[in-house]
Amino acid sequence: MSILKVARMGHPVLRKAARKVEPAEIKSPAFQKLVDDMIETMREYEGIGLAAPQVHEGVRLAIIGIDEGEGRTHDIRVLPVINPEVTPIGKTTAEDWEGCLSLPGLRGRVVRPDQVQVRALDRRGNRVEFDLEGFPARVAQHEIDHLDGVLFIDRMKSLETLTFIEEYSKYWTED
């Protein structure tokens, strides 16, 4: 496995819509390696999700991380999704902080639907369908946005909360 280079804001690959993955492609060693490398890259840089365009691959593949750890243990379960579609469930929205490995050092508040259904293929090419709520729902929407060339700053209603991490820790956190 290898740690991949992460594209930063300004690289055109982040602004292009990614192409659909052909089901026949999924089982190829190259595609499976990309999935493994993306998981390794996400863990290395302590991301909670990663989309293929962020590692310069214009395909509809994303890793959704679900933090199952409690307190100080960070046990991140990874869900690779291929050709994912996300649909809001209900009308409830939530506002929370987001960051992105492609916008290092920045945080901003984004309003998104709080509950979503994700339909995709898994890394074996099987159809999967699951519901997410709260932060994992946010991660899924953020990652799937990347497949359409959309960054979290595009989703901010106002740039007033766009903050560097240092100032975020200083002025925007309770503890």
Asked whether 118 and 142 are in contact (CB, 8 A), the reply is no
Query: Cα–Cα distance between 130 and 149 in angstroms, integer?
Result: 24
Query: Cα–Cα distance between 82 and 128 in angstroms, integer?
Result: 10
At a CB cut-off of 8 Å and minimum separation 6, what does 51 contact? Answer: 18, 61, 62, 63, 143, 144, 146, 147
Task: Report residue 86: phi and psi, to 5°.
Answer: -120, 130
Asked whether 85 and 125 are in contact (CB, 8 A), the reply is no
Q: How far is the CB of 143 from Zn ion (least distance, A)?
A: 7
User: With respect to Zn ion, which residue has the nearer C-beta, 125 or 156?
Assistant: 156
User: With respect to Zn ion, which residue has the nearer C-beta, 83 or 141?
Assistant: 141
User: With respect to Zn ion, which residue has the nearer C-beta, 104 or 134?
Assistant: 104
Q: How far is the CB of 83 from Zn ion (least distance, A)?
A: 18
Position closest to Zn ion via CB: 100
Q: How far is the CB of 24 from Zn ion (least distance, A)?
A: 28
Q: How far is the CB of 125 from Zn ion (least distance, A)?
A: 25
Query: Cα–Cα distance between 96 and 89 in angstroms, integer?
Result: 18
The site for Zn ion (CB under 5 A) is made up of: 100
User: With respect to Zn ion, which residue has the nearer C-beta, 49 or 113?
Assistant: 49
Which residue among 25, 57, 70, 143 is the active-site one? 143
Confirm whether 167 is a catalytic residue: no
Burial tier of 153 (Cβ tally within 10 Å: 0-12, 13-18, 19+)? middle
Positions annotated as catalytic residues are 143
